[in-house]
Amino acid sequence: MIYLQLFQTFFIVGLFGFGGGYGATALMQDLIVTERGWLTMKEFADVITVSEMTPGPMGINIASFVGVRVAGIAGTAVSTMSYVLPSAVIVMVLAWFYMKYRQLKMVQQVLKGLQPAVCALIISAAVRLAVNAVWAGDINFDKTNWIAAAMCAVLLVMLRKKRIAPIPAIFASGVVGAVLYGIGGM
């Protein structure tokens, strides 16, 4: 039964999670945390963090981590394959149509129309993650985690203005977090 639930969950994410791992994060959160209760929001945020740092696409990494957590190695295989299956079929069909009809103006307009939707999905995922990091999931300014807020602001500036690479930024954040939260006891 759990394998069928994993298959259904990640098939849906693979089918409707446009924009890659970041675009699918909000849908994954709804299905994994809210509906199924397989992970808490904190665990889900940790899975996202680890998925960003490990090699491979983020969405597949999340599916793999959740699958192994819920149903072991077989769960990983089911969730990963069901996540990839819709995309593989859709890409093959769309590639055929695109190659046949790419010169049509309507095809170009459809592609331009999809861009804002994918952008909105990514922004939604970023806002949810920021709310979880800074306010533990519920915006309450009395309970603001000022260290997390400051780290988010500094890293955003460093990534945009100084153009530092994401991997060193992730590792630096981990070191700073270990010092401030672990060793510093904050």
183, pLDDT greater than 80: no
Can you tell me whether residue 170 is helix, strand or coil? helix
The tokens 């800074």 sit on which residue? 134
Distant-in-sequence, close-in-space partners of 186: CB < 8 Å, separation ≥ 6: 147, 180
pLDDT per residue as tens digits for the range 43-63: 999 999 899 888 888 899 999
Angstrom distance (rounded) from CA 23 to CA 16: 10
CB 11 within 8 A of CB 83: yes
More confident residue, 39 or 140: 39
pLDDT per residue as tens digits for the range 5-21: 999 999 999 988 776 77
Half-sphere exposure for 105 (CA within 13 Å, toward CB): 0
Angle between helices 41-53 and 105-135 (to 10 degrees): 120
The tokens 């397989």 sit on which residue? 38
Q: Is the pTM of this model over 0.85?
A: no
CB 181 within 8 A of CB 148: no
Annotated domain spans of the chain: 2-138, 145-186
pLDDT recorded at residue 186: 61
Q: Quick one: pLDDT band at residue 184, thresholds 50, 70, 90?
A: low
> What does the pLDDT average to over 116-124?
87
